[in-house]
Amino acid sequence: MSIATLAQEIGRIARNDGDYQTAIPQLLMARRSGRTEPLACIYMLGLAVVAQGGKQVTMSDQVVNYGPGQSLLATVDLPVVSQVTQADLAQPFLGMLLTLDTRALVQLAADMELPPLPRDQAARGISLGPLDEPLLDAVIRLVRLLQEPQHIARLAPLIQQEIMVRLLTGPHGPYLRHLIAAGSPSHQVAQAIAWLKLNFSRDVLMDELAERAHMSPSTFRQHFRQLTGMSPLQYQKQLRLQEARQLMLTQALDASSTAARVGYESVSQFNREYSRQFGAPPQRDIRRMRELPGGGVVQAL
């Protein structure tokens, strides 16, 4: 099977521009018939594949460009800026995202005889690698399963497990294993990130986060930046601003109410940081977002 086969299968479902939630809850597809504006979103733990076209993902100061034949793995939930860079009416962008289950990965890794992690292998929040033939074959079979809804409940978990096995043993494997190895710095930081995602509106002290990760503040900052490309406070700010944008889009809240909801005491500070992040003040940005396909509600793909 080839990447063109995957593009054809995604195109069967994604017939028009937009994001498509499928009958397999972890599987999302997207189609775009032209370049898009840079959009901030959260990449969850998962495998993203471009079947046709090109994509650019920016995480802090790290810029990743990828296209057909490559796969991108996010090992933790990351605020990024995502942009379709190659697409037109004749050759639209076609992509998919498969979110992964941390518990299932931990269980699989425990049951497998995996080689030791290389000592010089640093943790990464985003890993880019080739989409090798066995992994591509499994991904295509998962997408094709959508044509047999009667078999999804029994077969989808088996194919998803195969995909996770191939990720653990392939080029992405070391980065995944850094994440799930109990007691590793990446695992401890990932747990702190999970807590921060639930409590981003709180005023959080660095010492409190470091204590949750069982690290000194300086060590915690170092490992957090290595994994996410930003400091914990920058990460928290990204979460606040992205949540604020979605609240204003979906609940029609004004800037003042939204600022308080996401943890800002000063509306003027919120407006400054929002403008710096999204390139326009809240009211103008929300008007622009509503004119985009899908009303501007950003999916993590």
54-113 pLDDT, tens digit per residue, is 999 998 778 999 999 899 999 888 999 999 999 999 999 999 999 999 889 988 988 888
Residue 299, pLDDT above cutoff 70: no
Q: What confidence tens digit (pLDDT) does each residue in 259-272 have?
A: 999 999 999 999 99
The fraction of the chain above a pLDDT of 70, given in percent, is 95
Q: What is the pLDDT of residue 177?
A: 87
Q: CA 138: distance to chain centroid?
A: 21
Q: What is the pLDDT of residue 296?
A: 52
Q: What is the pLDDT of residue 235?
A: 93
Q: What is the pLDDT of residue 61?
A: 79
Mean per-residue pLDDT over the chain, rounded: 90
The structure's pTM equals 0.85
191 within 8 A of 21, measured Cβ to Cβ: no
Sheet holding 78-86, edge to edge: 39-43, 78-86, 54-59, 62-66
Q: What is the pLDDT of residue 121?
A: 67
18 within 8 A of 31, measured Cβ to Cβ: yes
Q: What is the pLDDT of residue 185?
A: 86
How many Å apart are CA 226 and CA 238, to the nearest integer?
17
Q: What confidence tens digit (pLDDT) does each residue in 141-158 have?
A: 999 999 999 999 999 999
Residue 192, pLDDT above cutoff 70: yes
